[in-house]
Amino acid sequence: MSASFASALDAAREAAAAQHYPQGALYVVATPIGNLADITLRALHVLQMADTVACEDTRHTQALLRAYGIDKGSAQCLAVHQHNEAEAAQNVVLRLQQGQRVAYVSDAGTPGVSDPGARLVAAVQAAGLRAVPLPGASSVTTALSVAGAVAHGSEHGGFVFAGFLPTKNAERATAIAQQLAPEPRCVVLLEAPHRIGELAQALAVLGERPVTLARELTKQFEEVTTQPAHALQAWLEGSPQRSRGEFVVLLHPVAVTTDDGESLRVLRLLVQELPLKTAVRLAADITGAPRNQLYNTALAWKREDGAGDEPGDSDA
């Protein structure tokens, strides 16, 4: 154990021990996403108290617990990950029915968001048992807090969590064109370092739309930058370090035109007669309105009308 956490364990017992922690309950515990100090006192107390710690990776979690001075034997750690979650959930349910307190942690952050845990919680609730949340670190909310990308006080406020996009190029391009481009709200994506270059290249079709890349959050080499979508690949290639670490990618809200101006009138007429890509290009040339803004507006119209995107529309 790091000596710096000895007082934290004492503080956790003093601050959290007086609360009620029912037996036969699953405690869903958020853990740090990089910086070990980002652990809550209540999380430390529950991890000490738990009869079983269910976790995405037992070796990773045992190392984390040892860093805090919490000793759990191999029999007290149970692997629950994406490949065995349904089967392992029944093991957890059995332990809960025996009156155990089970804490569940993913490798980092809040379980059940982009990490395993949702099926486990669903199985526990289906068995009539209780799941208790212990909030804490999350890469999603951490990145959102410093990106300035969530619009408030408008019809397009809030954000959409999309997680990981498909890994195949064609499927990823389709998701961007049909789901992300017309979405006016902030969109949150996650990406691994070995695929961030491919994602940046695919997002270039969004043109000037601001995109925030947040890498190595809470760690020593944390970096957060906001670039136009078309410039992401060049920024990544500016330094070998920039493609390392896990990424949170935030597409900023789209400025959707809602007035009855000349650009919308022209666009509406052209869209009725021409393919979307051609209509957008001509409307931008005629009126001087931003092409990306017109493109996203036209896509929104098509979605409202129940029509799908046309082949090649993502090239606008």
Residue ending a domain, among 104, 136, 168, is: 136
Kindly report, residue by residue over 80-117, the tens digit of the pLDDT: 998 998 899 999 999 999 999 999 999 999 999 988 89
83 and 167 housed in the same domain? no
pLDDT in tens, 166-211: 999 999 999 998 899 888 899 999 999 999 999 999 999 998 899 9
Q: Give the least confident one: 22-26, 211-215, 275-279.
A: 275-279
Helix (H, G, I), strand (E, B) or coil at 61: helix
Same domain for 131 and 93? yes
Out of 136, 151, 167, a domain closes at 136
DSSP string, 98-110: TT--EEEE-SSB-
- CATH code of residue 243: 3.30.950.10
| 3-state DSSP assignment of residue 187 | strand
Same domain, 126 and 40: yes
| Digit-coded pLDDT (tens) for 7-49 | 999 999 999 999 999 999 999 999 999 999 999 999 999 999 9
Give the largest Cα separation in the chain, rounded.
72
Q: What is the pLDDT of residue 312?
A: 42
Q: How many structural domains are present in the chain?
A: 3
pLDDT at position 165 over 70 = yes
For residue 23, give both structure tokens.
């037996």
Hunting for tokens 């392992």 — which residue is that? 88
Mean of the per-residue pLDDT values of the chain: 90
Range 231-243 average pLDDT: 96
Instruction: Give residue 229's pLDDT band: very low, low, confident or very high (50, 70, 90).
Output: very high
Query: Residue 296's pLDDT is what?
Result: 79
Task: Kindly state whether residues 162 and 176 are assigned to the same domain.
Answer: yes
pLDDT of residue 3: 63
Domain hosting 193: range is: 140-251
Amino acid letter at 37?
A
